Structure 1
Amino acid sequence: MEQTQKFFDLLLDIRRLYVEDMNALLTTHQLSSAQWLIFKEIAKKEPTTLVEVARSRKIEKPTATKVIHKLIELNLIQTSEGKDKREKILNLTDFGKQHYEMMLKDVIQKQKDISGEIEELQVVTEQLEKIYKHLESGKEERIGRTH
Structure 2
Amino acid sequence: MHTITNWLAIGRLSDINNELLLQGHKIKAILVLGRESASHNLPAMALDVQGDQPISSDVLGEALSFIHEQKAQGNKVLITCDTEISLSTAYATAALKEETGMSVLDSFLEVRKYHPSALPNPVLWQSLAEIYGEPMAFEELQDIMRKIEEAS
Tell me if TM exceeds 0.5.
Answer: no
Higher fraction of strand: 2
Structure that is richer in helix per residue: 1
Structure label with greater radius of gyration: 1
Q: TM-score, normalised by structure 2?
A: 0.31
Q: Which has the higher contact order (CA 8 A, sep 6+)?
A: 2
